[in-house]
Amino acid sequence: MRSQEWGVRSESGGRPRPAIKRGETPGIVKSEKGERKMSEKLVIDGQEFRGDRIDLPKCALLVIQGKKGMLGCGYVSLAAAEKFGDALATVSGVASFDDMLSAEVKGVSAAAAALGVKAGMTGREALKRMA
């Protein structure tokens, strides 16, 4: 049995999952090259975000967007965020939105730093500042 509100223990007694509430059915589209693209509404600690995932041949490109900024996987360019003045924090070694929440922030754009985001905090903490 799966709970709609994440953060409860699994039936096997495992560790609780981060509190992400899944929204409506995600939109999944396949590109001409066969990559799978998914976008879904995520509710994290009561705040609404948009999660985007593109499955590439060797990895997944992951981004969670808030109203003031976004959390991206290591595939996302901090240099581009700086160029356009976007608030971006990056995490690496992640394969899912859940992984992103617990991962340590490795990189921060100037706009994200102005919102209080710092390297070393968790992805969840960074997103709270960019909600």
79-113 pLDDT, tens per residue?
999 999 999 999 999 999 999 999 999 999 999 99
| Whole-prediction pTM | 0.75
In this structure, of 5-9, 45-49, 84-88, the range with the lowest mean pLDDT score is 5-9
In which element (H, E) is residue 20 found? strand 20-22
CATH number of 24-130: 3.30.1980.10
In this structure, of 1-15, 47-61, 70-84, 100-114, the range with the lowest mean pLDDT score is 1-15
Q: List, in order, residues 6 or more apart from 78 with CB less than 8 Å away.
A: 88, 90, 107, 108, 109
| 20 class by beta-carbon count within 10 Å (0-12 exposed, 13-18 middle, 19+ buried) | buried
The 3-state DSSP class for residue 35 equals coil
Q: What is the pLDDT of residues 109-121, one digit of tens each?
A: 999 999 999 999 9
Beta bridge partners of 36: 30, 55
Q: Is the pLDDT of residue 58 over 80?
A: yes
